[in-house]
């Protein structure tokens, strides 16, 4: 008997079908991958299981018995646990406090919290997941993403009187987790399997899916296909089943000529915990920024976008003072932040507003009134380029699927034909086909003379796109190396402090 079975699940949002007659089942002790393009309905299915969204039709059974999940509490009682696409932790509380959130804390006389006992228990729970290295007193938000996820998983095993988790649903847990940390997360998944739990694993990282899942269900436009065993599946086959088209060929990084002019020069820049940054980016160059854990690729980009305290930044040979994001956009810099929901998007506004906001000066008629048709045309054209799936430029951004929100943010950055493009995890949560399109768009933009800086935890992405890579360690640039000839493993070694080979002349 299956631990969970779903049959004929359907859900429409105002005439748009997100799920159509979807069915699948999950066995205890298996990792069941759920894959599909952006907007295919994966998160919708998960939200229904979590009791956050009500299905229009369909049946759900746990251990063969029909259940109705009308609230988060119902889901919890059935042993379902969720790591949603946007991580739900309290970043300002400590690891121990997050672990025991909502449970009774151990107390001493007069009801004072017994912190030592709390930390001892936290250490024991974490050790059970091979994560003894995480200190219970650390503020959760300071930990690398993978550790935050491990704390979340471990917390669902802390007794709260309603039994522990049996089915773990993970919606893109490794988006923006660096490759070495992914291994730790996989260790935790293996431990969950040993405890006879089931895992529903949603990811756009096909290689990951092929490695850790036992079976795969493909969702396409809200319709599910019958699950297939992972053994025997290939990358090309999966992409074809998800998109209905043949998988695109992998392409090679564009080489830049070192003779082109320097468009961005950074000298002695310090700020946001980084010191003494110095490097150059040439016209037409795609420069990668790599590092492990909290190395600071995100902060490096923020420094360039108005966050630097001291140092000199020149654009096209002219020294500039960038004090804030508005000033940066004006000078031809564009930025895709790493956290789309908290830093990037105006969730309650529509796509057109989000895409055109920094460029309103140019779209305004007589400098005052918004040129709506121009705004609409621009949004539509860019949306097509990045495969943004929506009901139109007037759709509210919070109604978009995660990957489509990411594309909206990317469209905004490229909309103003920037001179320098700063990208922090630009394809986080984006499906394989759209990722391919974004990569070719980036090559095209660089080919037209723009400079691109890209920070990514996906080292394959960096090696596939960049001509050179800056490696960050301990708040500094530890080396700058040509990307050609470098393997993901080699890059990871550099991130851990191995020395780069001298670049060939
Ligand atoms: N609250 C909502 N209102 C209107 N439409 C919605 C809402 N939530 C989701 N949708 C639509 O339902 C469809 C499925 O979205 P869903 O979030 O399930 O996709 P997904 O498979 O998780 O995609 P991704 O890989 O990008 O996360 C999309 O077309 C989306 O725009
Ligand atoms: Mg989703």
What CATH number is associated with residue 461? 3.40.50.300
Domain boundary among the residues 393, 417, 441 is at 417
Q: Ligand 1 mean position to 226 CA, how many Å?
A: 21
Q: Which helix (DSSP H) or strand (DSSP E) does residue 60 occupy?
A: strand 57-62
**Chain-centre distance for alpha carbon 16:** 25
Each residue's pLDDT, cut to its tens digit, for the chain (505 residues) gives: 899 999 999 999 988 899 999 999 999 999 999 999 999 999 999 999 999 999 999 999 999 999 999 998 899 899 998 887 665 556 678 888 888 876 666 767 666 777 788 888 889 888 887 888 899 999 888 887 778 888 887 887 776 555 678 999 988 887 767 777 788 789 889 988 998 999 999 999 999 999 999 999 999 999 999 999 999 899 999 999 998 887 766 655 555 666 789 999 999 999 999 999 999 999 999 999 998 877 889 999 999 998 888 999 999 999 999 888 888 888 899 999 887 777 788 888 999 888 888 876 665 554 555 667 887 888 888 888 888 989 888 999 999 998 999 999 999 998 888 999 999 999 988 998 889 888 988 999 999 999 999 999 888 999 999 999 999 998 899 999 999 989 988 998 898 887 766 554 4
Residue span of the structural domain in which 363 resides: 344-417
249: in domain: no
Q: Enter the DSSP assignment of 399.
A: G
494: in domain: yes
For the CA atoms of 454, 406, 178, 445, what is the dihedral angle to 10 degrees? -20
Q: Ligand 1 mean position to 442 CA, how many Å?
A: 26
Of all atoms in ligand 1, which is nearest to the CA of residue 389?
29
264: in domain: no
Distances (CA, A) of 98 to 92, 103, 287, 388: 9, 10, 38, 36
Tell me the C-alpha distance between 416 and 438, whole Å.
16
Ligand 1 atom 10, closest CA = 399
Q: Ligand 2 mean position to 267 CA, how many Å?
A: 40
How much is the CA Rg of the chain, to the nearest whole Å?
24
User: Which residues, chain by chain, have CB under 5 Å from ion ligand 2?
Assistant: 43, 85, 401-402
Pocket of ligand 1 from Cβ distances under 6 Å? 13, 16, 18, 36, 38-44, 85, 389, 399-404, 429, 431
Same domain? 439 vs 325: yes
Same domain? 431 vs 413: no
Q: Ligand 1 mean position to 404 CA, how many Å?
A: 8
Same domain? 326 vs 411: no
Beta 369-370 vs 286-290: how paired, if at all? Answer: unpaired
Number of domains in the chain: 3
């Amino acid at each position: 008997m299956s631990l969970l079975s779903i049959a004929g699940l359907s859900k429409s949002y105002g005439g748009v079908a997100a799920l159509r007659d979807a069915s699948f089942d999950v066995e205890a002790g298996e990792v069941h991958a759920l894959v599909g393009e952006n907007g295919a309905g994966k998160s919708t299915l998960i939200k229904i299981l979590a009791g956050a969204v009500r299905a229009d039709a369909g049946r759900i059974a746990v251990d063969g018995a029909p259940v109705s999940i009308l609230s988060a509490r119902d889901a919890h009682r059935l042993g379902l646990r969720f790591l949603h696409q946007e991580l739900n932790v309290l970043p300002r509380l400590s690891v121990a406090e997050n672990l025991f959130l909502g449970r009774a804390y151990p107390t001493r006389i007069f009801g004072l919290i017994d912190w030592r006992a709390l930390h001892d228990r936290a250490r024991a729970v974490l050790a059970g997941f091979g994560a003894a290295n995480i200190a219970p007193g650390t503020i959760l938000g300071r930990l690398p993403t993978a550790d935050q996820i491990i704390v979340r998983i471990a917390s669902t095993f802390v007794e709260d009187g309603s039994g522990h988790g049996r089915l773990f649903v993970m919606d893109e847990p490794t988006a923006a987790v660096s490759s070495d940390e992914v291994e730790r997360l996989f260790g935790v998944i293996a431990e969950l399997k040993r405890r006879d739990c089931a895992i529903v694993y949603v990811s756009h990282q096909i290689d990951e899916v092929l490695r850790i899942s036992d079976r795969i269900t493909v969702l396409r436009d809200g319709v599910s296909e019958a699950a297939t065993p992972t053994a025997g599946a290939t990358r090309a086959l999966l992409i074809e089943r998800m998109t209905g088209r043949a998988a695109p060929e992998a392409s090679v990084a564009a080489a830049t000529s070192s003779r082109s002019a320097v468009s961005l020069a950074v000298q002695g820049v310090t700020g946001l915990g980084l010191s003494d940054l110095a490097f150059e980016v040439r016209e037409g160059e795609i420069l990668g920024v790599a590092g492990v854990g909290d190395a600071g690729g995100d902060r490096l980009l923020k420094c360039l976008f108005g966050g630097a305290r001291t140092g000199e930044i020149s654009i096209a040979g002219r020294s500039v003072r960038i004090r804030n994001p508005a000033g940066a956009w004006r000078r031809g810099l564009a930025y895709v932040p790493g956290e789309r929901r908290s830093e990037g998007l105006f969730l309650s506004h529509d796509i057109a507003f989000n895409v055109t906001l920094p460029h309103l000066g140019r779209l305004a008629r007589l400098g005052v009134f918004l040129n709506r048709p121009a705004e609409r045309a621009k949004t539509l054209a860019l949306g097509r380029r990045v495969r943004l799936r929506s009901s139109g430029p007037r759709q509210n951004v919070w109604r978009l699927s995660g990957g489509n929100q990411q594309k909206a943010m990317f469209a905004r950055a490229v909309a103003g034909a920037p001179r320098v493009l700063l990208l922090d995890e630009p394809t986080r949560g984006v499906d394989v086909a759209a990722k391919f399109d974004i990569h070719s768009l980036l090559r095209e933009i660089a080919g037209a003379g723009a400079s691109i800086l890209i920070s990514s935890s996906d080292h394959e992405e960096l090696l596939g796109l960049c001509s050179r890579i800056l490696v960050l360690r301990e708040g500094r640039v530890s080396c700058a190396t040509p990307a050609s000839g470098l393997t993901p493993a080699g890059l990871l070694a550099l991130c851990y402090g191995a020395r780069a080979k001298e670049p060939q002349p």
